[in-house]
Each structure stands twice: as C-alpha cells, then as structure tokens.
Amino acid sequence: MRIGLFGGTFDPVHLGHLRAAESAREALGLERVAFVPSAQPPHRPRPLSPAEDRLAMCRLATAAHPGFETWDLELRRPGPSYTVDTVTALVAGRPGDEFVLIVGADTWPEMSSWRDPRRLFSLVEVAVTARPGTEAQELAAPFPGSRGVSRVVGPVLGISATAIRERVRAGHSIRFLVPDAVADYIARRRLYS
C-alpha cells in the first residue's frame, strides 16, 4: 500500500491540513494518508494542548474520509518526536508498504537540519505541499540515494493553527476553519481559552 505520512502538532488540526492531505492523496496516488500527531516536536515549542486532545481532534477530523487515518505511534514513544525514528519503525514494521512523507513548503527548507536527514531521505519519498506566503522553491533531492522529492499542486487554504488558537482566546468563532466536530471538541474541552 502507498501511504502518505502527514505529521505535525495539529494544535488544532484544521481544514488547511485536510485540504493539503487530500491534494497529496490525489496527486501522488496514495491509498491512505496517515495523520501522525507529534508528542514533542524537536524544532518548535511544546504544543499547548495535551497529546490526547490533539489525537482526539485528528481522529474526529479524519473519521469521515475513507482515505484518511490517524496514527498514535509518535505519542506512544517517549522523548522528542524525530521523523527519522518514526519512518524507520514504519519501514521495518510494514515492509510491504511504501511511504511518502508529506511536508509543507515552509518545512521543506528546514529538513536538512533534522535528525539524520540523509537516512530519512533514503527511506521515503518527500512530497511538498504549497503553503500561503511561501514561494515556489527548487525541489531537488538533497542527498545521493534519496528516494525523490515532488511538489503537490492543489488548492491552498490560508488557515493557521496559531490564528485559530488566537480566535478561541478572543472568543471568536472558528466554524469553517476546522471541522465541526473539532470545533465542538475545542469548546467542550475549553482548549485555548
């Protein structure tokens, strides 16, 4: 099976994430896109919401789409969530599957500074989705032996998790920025207030 891996803090998951995943699924012929919430991202501050809330929101957001799943493997591992560790475990544990790592255009330039990037690029193809405010960049494979890099073309929604959290803090609606089930969950759990 050809599976897209879409990682992030998802604090909260929003319609921009879902649209990017759908564009990648269609463009790359993926049978599944797995949303993989990170426990403790090494390159950014700790998420505001607890892991179990971010996992629950991802499950709510992906439940209605047969091509989407939510995986908790990074949340079950202690310490920082290094992508290369996740990918290594998946490749070893699911030898019949092929994985494509989906990242945003804002993340692409950082990837060479990630833990063991040469190994990461040797294990998975990387697909770069457009993000509002990022210019098109050259997408050459950064290392010999890389599996390849491709650009995902599709609609881009200018939604950010930071802006959603700020709207909640200010008492403004987040409807039509996140799935309804996620908006209800945020309100019920009083997240970001």
pLDDT tens-place string over residues 30-73 = 999 999 999 988 877 788 999 999 999 999 999 999 999 999 99
CA torsion through residues 15, 186, 30, 100, sign: positive
- The closest of 69, 11, 61, 65 to 36, measured between CA atoms, is 69
Give pTM, 2 decimals. Answer: 0.93
Q: What is the mean pLDDT of residues 7-11?
A: 96
Which of 54-63, 72-81, 92-101 shows the lowest mean pLDDT across its residues? 72-81
Determine phi and psi for 161, rounding to 5 degrees.
-65, -35
Q: What's the Rg (C-alpha) of the chain?
A: 16
Which of 21-25, 62-66, 93-97, 143-147 shows the lowest mean pLDDT across its residues? 143-147
Ramachandran area for residue 107 (φ above 0: left; ψ -120 to 50: alpha; else beta): alpha
At 110-162, the pLDDT tens digits run: 998 999 999 999 999 999 998 776 665 666 667 777 888 999 988 989 999 99
CA distance 180 to 61: 9
CA torsion through residues 106, 45, 84, 31, sign: negative
CA atoms within 13 A on the CB side of 108: 24
At 155-191, the pLDDT tens digits run: 989 999 999 999 999 999 999 999 999 999 999 999 9
Question: Residue 162's pLDDT is what?
Answer: 95
Domains of the chain, start order = 2-157 (3.40.50.620)
Strand 125-129 to strand 98-104: parallel, antiparallel, or no bridges (unpaired)? parallel
- The closest of 137, 119, 128 to 100, measured between CA atoms, is 128
Question: Residue 135's pLDDT is what?
Answer: 60
CA distance 110 to 126: 13
